[in-house]
Amino acid sequence: MSPLQPGDLITGLEIGPVAHGGHFVARHEGQVVFVRHALSGERVDVRITDVNRRYARGVVVAVRQASEHRVEPPCPVAGLCGGCDFQHVSAAHSRELKRQVVVEQLAHLAGYEFTGAIADVAPSPLHWRGRMRYRVDDQGRPGLLAHRSREIVPLPDGGCRIALPQIADPPVQSRAGGELRAVATAEAHYFGADESVEVTEYVGELRYQVAGDGFWQPHVAAARTLSEAVLAGLEPEPGEVAFDLYCGVGLFSGVLAAAGCRVWGIEGAATAVGLARRNVPGGTFVAGDVGRRLARLPRSADLVVLDPPRTGAGAEVLSRIVTRTPRRIAYVACDPAALGRDLRTLAELGYRTTAVSAYDLFPLTHHVECLAILEPR
């Protein structure tokens, strides 16, 4: 049994390297402790929050020796709210930490050497988020959940610091409890979890209808940034066949169709598929599991875009993709570990990674977005 117990206080703990997931690695009497709100090289006091057979988790409660990269958080509820785990880190150093994680994960899991930087994408590091999900307390006040908790942390004066200003400080609600969702386009849209709302998003001259509770990249510049990067990596030619897998409402389908490709897409959410058909009228879209529905798509493809959920695409889906012998694959990933596992699988299936780029589309958090381009070996 671990000598540590939840609630224990460790004083003067020396903090080691950053780990995937936004924690920092430390050791106490031989046991690994993953620490939130720390920085490498610091000496801190840590309150243990969770313990299992392999490791413990803790949170910094006092800093005895601070890193030069530690800053005063711009939000007064940082450390209470569960949203921004890198508010205590300078924006430039947070990108360096994310670079270290991408380097380690891709080297360890895929044998790929990432030599790039994490691109800063404006607006940054504040006022970048165009979609929010607030929780409403029993007085009707919108707030955000604490880390790994159902406790609602009230918004500070001035509202959420990473949200766009028009949705950063929602009004008190007449109905207590539940969720309040917010989407910022030209104006603010507020709606409850049981309400159906559509909003219009633009990527250049392309127009997309998106469900208010459906998936769209939260950073207001993410859709444009990733679309441009995918097009640059794939270099589509008019008339080519392109698959857009986990296509959502057809973001990449739209830009590929505009480049002259014949587009097929698959998405699990039927509502999103209906919107994709409206957003990209020339495309063909199928609702359902990607692995099972691939049989409905053409037997060959020139280009494939993958934008899977955080868990990745997996070997079954990837093996079915390579039977189409695409000349290039663009893999968009929100988790570098899942990306690393899938790049290793694709290497075993005969595809080599020719480039990886990374983008800071979640400033002041540990999250990072990557794009890998692959070609047949």
For the question of residue 334 being annotated catalytic, the response is: yes
Tell me how far apart the alpha carbons of residues 272 and 276 are, in angstroms, rounded to a whole number. Answer: 6
Residue 171 φ then ψ, to 5° = -70, 160
What CA–CA distance (Å, rounded) separates 64 from 13?
9
Q: Which of 75, 81, 261, 334 is catalytic?
A: 334
DSSP E strands in the chain: the ranges are: 9-18, 24-28, 31-36, 43-51, 55-65, 118-120, 131-136, 142-145, 152-154, 179-184, 188-192, 198-203, 206-211, 241-245, 262-267, 284-287, 303-306, 328-333, 351-360, 369-376
Closest by CA position to 222, among listed 295, 140, 124, 146: 124
Pairing type for strands 262-267 and 284-287 reads parallel
CB-CB contact of 161 with 73 (8 Å): no
The encoded tokens of residue 288 equal: 């359902």
Phi-psi region at 56: left, alpha or beta (left = phi > 0; alpha = psi -120 to 50)? beta
* Tally: H helices and E strands in the chain: 7, 20
Q: Find out whether 257 and 279 touch, Cβ atoms under 8 Å.
A: no
Q: Which residues pair with 262 in a beta bridge?
A: 241
The residues annotated as belonging to the active site are 334
